[in-house]
Amino acid sequence: MNSFVERYSTTSATGQLRRAQRLADEEDEFSDAAWGSSAGFGNIVKGSPSFMVPNTPDPTSFLRLHTDDHADPSCRIKIQHGTTTLAFRFQGGVIVAVDSRATAGSYIASGTVKKVIEINPYLLGTMAGGAADCQYWETYLGMHCRLHELRNRERISVSAASKYLSNLVYSYKGMGLSMGTMVCGWDKTGPAVFYVDSDGTRLKGDIFSVGSGSTFAYGVLDQGYRWDLTDEEAQELGRRSIYAAGHRDAYSGNTCNLYHVKEDGWKFIGNYDLAQLHNQGYGYEHRVEGRSSANPPEVVATA
C-alpha cells in the first residue's frame, strides 16, 4: 500500500523520485525486449540503418544451428542457390549478362526472373543468392544514391555506391543474409565493376561471375576477353558465356538478359532464349559442322 501511494503521490518528493526511477527502468526493459540485449547489435554504429530482430539470446548462433553450414551439412534447413550472373568492363563500357532461372532446391520455381536491379540510369546491380535480400538491399541502395544526388548535386560514383552497400550488409554479418552482387556503372573515372557479398566483402575488378554456373561462364570469358573488344564483340561474349553456363549447369538457364552500360547510361540490349541460341548456332552440333566463334551466328532477341 505504501509503495502504491508513493508511486502515484504528487506531494512527496521521494515518491516522485522513485516513480521516475521505475519509469526509467521500465523503458530500459522495453528497449532490451524490442532490440535484444544480446542480439549482436552492440557494435553497430550509431545512426546506421537497423531493424528489429526476434529477442533470442543469440540469433547468430541460432541461424548457424538451423541453416546450411559447412560444419553441419545435415542441418534441417538447406539453403541452396543456383544462378549465373556476370559482368565485365572494356573500352566501350560494362557488359552485364544474367540468366533468368530461379530454383528451390531441385525444383525450377521460375524461368522469368529479372536478376538485374536497375539502381538508377547509370548504375546496375545483379542478383545471386537470396532473391529477397538482393532485391531489398539494392533497392534501398537506389534510394540513398538518389539522396546523394539531391544533397551533393552530382551522381554518386560506382565506388561510393558499392562501399555504402558493403558497409550496410556488414552490419548484419552472420544474421542470415545471402547476397553475391555486382555493382556496375560509369562515373568520372570511367567504367567500373565492384563485387559485394553478404559478408561485407568488396572487390574491384575487370571480370566477375557469380553463381553455380560461374565456372562454365568463366571458361568462355577468359578465352574471349580483351580490353579492346568492340561493342558487338563484347555483347556476343556475354551472351555466349551465359549460354555455356545454362547449357551445362542445371540451376541456370531459360533466357539471357543482356545490358550494356555506356557513358550516357545503361541500355537493355535484349532477352535471348537459350534454347533458340542453341538452335541458331551456339550448340556443339552446329559448331562441328563448320561454324567458328570468329563468325558468330545472327541472333534475335525474344523481347
Residues carrying an active site annotation: 83
Joined together, the cell numbers standing for residue 253 give: 538457364
Which residue reads 541460341 in cell numbers? 277
What gap in Å lies between CA 210 and CA 214, rounded to an integer? 5
First to last CA, the chain: 78
Q: How far is CA 98 from CA 84, 102, 105, 248, in A?
A: 6, 12, 20, 15
Joined together, the cell numbers standing for residue 20 give: 521516475
Longest dimension (CA), the chain: 100
Q: Which residues contact 217 (CB under 8 A, 6 or more apart)?
A: 84, 86, 209, 241, 242, 244, 245
Q: How many CB atoms lie within 10 A of CB 290?
A: 7
Short-list 188, 183, 116, CA closest to 152: 188
Strand order in the sheet with 123-126: 116-120, 123-126, 180-187, 190-197, 202-204
Strand partners, 103: 108
Residue 141 CA, chain-centre distance (Å), reads 11
Joined together, the cell numbers standing for residue 256 give: 539471357
Short-list 194, 220, 217, 189, CA closest to 205: 194
What gap in Å lies between CA 199 and CA 196, rounded to an integer? 8
Residue 152 CA, chain-centre distance (Å), reads 26
Which residue reads 548457424 in cell numbers? 64
